[in-house]
Amino acid sequence: MQRRLPESGATRTFDPAPLNGAGELAYAWARDLFPINRSLTGPGVRQTLAYLARLLPPLQIHAVASGTKAFDWTVPQEWDIAEGFLEDEHGRRVIDFAESNLHIVGYSTPIDTWLTLEELEPHLYSLPDQPDAVPYVTSYYEPRWGFCLAHRVRKTLVPGRYHAVIRARHFNGVLNYADMILPGETAEQILLSTYVCHPSMANNELSGPVVTAALGRWLLSLPRRRYTYRLVFAPETIGAIVYLSRNLDRLKDKVRAGFVLSCVGDDRGYSYIASRQSNSLADRAARHVLAHHAPGFTAYSFLERGSDERQYCSPGADLPVCSVLRTRHGRYPEYHTSLDDLSLISPAGLQGAVDIYAKIVWLLENNRRWRTRLPGEPQLGRLGLYPTLSRRGSSAEARPLRNFLAYADGTLDLIDVADTIGVDALGLLGAIGTLEDAGIVVQTEG
């Protein structure tokens, strides 16, 4: 009798216990990381990656020199900002980088000059319809300087002269990112990618790195893994492009499913952004878990992508990478403003994302093809899986398992079968184990 492959780790029922408290922990990490002034490059990114490496010891931090070519892009100069402020004629600081790192346009060129309010205006960024929010503005690839401020404050500025000071420098340094490989029983990989380039904002972005770190620690704790896991922490866009350019063949060869973790900390709901392939293993697993564990989630097509899936799924890479999020970037009012702070995310919100991603991982780990060993329905009664007394309606409770068997033909994987029969795949794992033990079903290659 052919038996299940014992090294596969298949048909283990999902155990949520090891994830208890992950949300609280992740929230504490986010609180630590919040004040750091991250950007595409610079000390803030290094500080952040160093913190993450303490959580995930296998994490490797990499540096790429400014000016390095990466596909159509060039690694920008490093940016280091010492201080930035705007003072009025009376020396009163109207805006101060020391209060919030959102106050200075990202990658601002240095300036130290006096201007009239009128001359200053083109350098000020505020949001009239959100007067209390400081917007997040950057100018990575065009030299500019500017201040971001609450519109409420901006309206208090009176005509007069202002002293604009930004002590920053751009220089040939490095761009940093980090990755780690958790080996599994096969060389096939699951990619988890998140980004570290935004200053003090919580849902976008800190929820991404801390949820990824929590998942990484859980993966490290597993007694065995079918897949090899690749975790990536890199600045958005340019970091992902650099990462792709340095690992393209490896990624195309090995990655079976990937996910961009972003905006995974609030409590409002769940959403999903399809990969370019739209029906890849990653998409199928994500949609299946969301449908059964976060019904009502919002599904976005690849046309509404927004983060590093843009790079991973680009035609020349075309990796099976989708994204599962809480409220996605651009669809909540606090997005890219100072209002996206630690009050917007919560331990429960982070825990929810950790749980969903862990279930997706678990489904991938156990997503096998099974086939029944013999034609005909098996005699489930003798396994205690079917009532031995036949009366009207008595077969109803065994229906999910019988439907599983009806489609266990060795060509459909667990996700396909569970989608076909309309049940949660994770809920079938225990009974499938019983069927495997009894030799009713066997795993097939494919």
Regarding 237 and contact with a copy of itself (CB under 8 A), the answer is yes
Distance set, CA 295 to CA 159, 284, 304 (Å): 54, 15, 20
Regarding 403 and contact with a copy of itself (CB under 8 A), the answer is yes
Regarding 416 and contact with a copy of itself (CB under 8 A), the answer is no
| Axis-axis angle for helices 281-293, 425-437 (nearest 10) | 110
Q: Provide DSSP, 342-360.
A: TTT--HHHHHHHHHHHHHH
Taking contact as CB under 8 A, which single stretch among the options 89-97, 176-184, 234-242, 351-359 is the one that binds a copy of itself?
234-242
Taking contact as CB under 8 A, which single stretch among the options 80-88, 112-120, 181-189, 417-425 is the one that binds a copy of itself?
417-425
Which listed residue (232, 408, 415, 418) binds a copy of itself by CB under 8 A?
408
User: Within a 10 A sphere around the Cβ of 221, how many other Cβ atoms?
Assistant: 9
Which listed residue (379, 397, 430, 437) binds a copy of itself by CB under 8 A?
379
User: Within a 10 A sphere around the Cβ of 408, how many other Cβ atoms?
Assistant: 22
Tokens of 148: 């971001």
- Please answer whether residues 63 and 157 qualify as being in contact, where contact means their C-beta atoms are separated by less than 8 angstroms: no
b/e per residue, 256-291, with b = 16+ CB within 10 A?
bbbbbbbbbbbeeebbbbbbbbeebbbbbbbbbbbb
CB of 393 to a copy of itself, least distance (A): 8
Distance set, CA 343 to CA 1, 31, 79, 85, 235 (Å): 57, 10, 29, 26, 24
CB of 420 to a copy of itself, least distance (A): 8
Residue whose entry in the numeric block shows the structure tokens 């780790």: 9
Regarding 244 and contact with a copy of itself (CB under 8 A), the answer is yes
- Please answer whether residues 132 and 150 qualify as being in contact, where contact means their C-beta atoms are separated by less than 8 angstroms: yes
Taking contact as CB under 8 A, which single stretch among the options 172-180, 254-262, 281-289, 309-317 is the one that binds a copy of itself?
309-317
Regarding 410 and contact with a copy of itself (CB under 8 A), the answer is yes
Which listed residue (245, 271, 280, 307) binds a copy of itself by CB under 8 A?
245
Which listed residue (151, 256, 336, 368) binds a copy of itself by CB under 8 A?
336
Regarding 241 and contact with a copy of itself (CB under 8 A), the answer is yes
What is the x/- site pattern for a copy of itself, positions 419-438, by CB under 8 A?
A: -xxx----------------
Regarding 335 and contact with a copy of itself (CB under 8 A), the answer is yes
Residue 52 vs 149, nearer CB to a copy of itself = 149
What is the x/- site pattern for a copy of itself, positions 28-67, by CB under 8 A?
A: ----------------------------------------
Which listed residue (118, 221, 376, 445) binds a copy of itself by CB under 8 A?
376
Residue 97 vs 386, nearer CB to a copy of itself = 386
DSSP 304: G
State how far Cα 100 lies from the chain centre.
25
Taking contact as CB under 8 A, which single stretch among the options 154-162, 218-226, 349-357, 418-426 is the one that binds a copy of itself?
418-426
Regarding 331 and contact with a copy of itself (CB under 8 A), the answer is no
| H-helix or E-strand spanning residue 85 | strand 78-88
**What is the sign, positive or negative, of the torsion defined by CA atoms of 242, 244, 248, 253?**
positive
Which listed residue (110, 254, 302, 434) binds a copy of itself by CB under 8 A?
302
Distance set, CA 74 to CA 65, 113, 194, 255, 314 (Å): 10, 31, 21, 26, 18
Which listed residue (36, 70, 294, 339) binds a copy of itself by CB under 8 A?
70
Residue 29 vs 335, nearer CB to a copy of itself = 335
| Pairing outcome for strands 93-96 and 78-88 | antiparallel
Regarding 138 and contact with a copy of itself (CB under 8 A), the answer is yes
Distance set, CA 118 to CA 124, 131, 160, 326 (Å): 10, 20, 9, 42
Which listed residue (47, 93, 406, 434) binds a copy of itself by CB under 8 A?
406
* Binding-site ranges for a copy of itself (CB under 8 A): 70-73, 106, 125, 127, 135-142, 144, 237, 240-241, 244-245, 248, 276, 302-303, 305, 310-311, 313-318, 330, 335-337, 371-372, 374-379, 381-382, 388-393, 402-403, 405-410, 420-422, 440
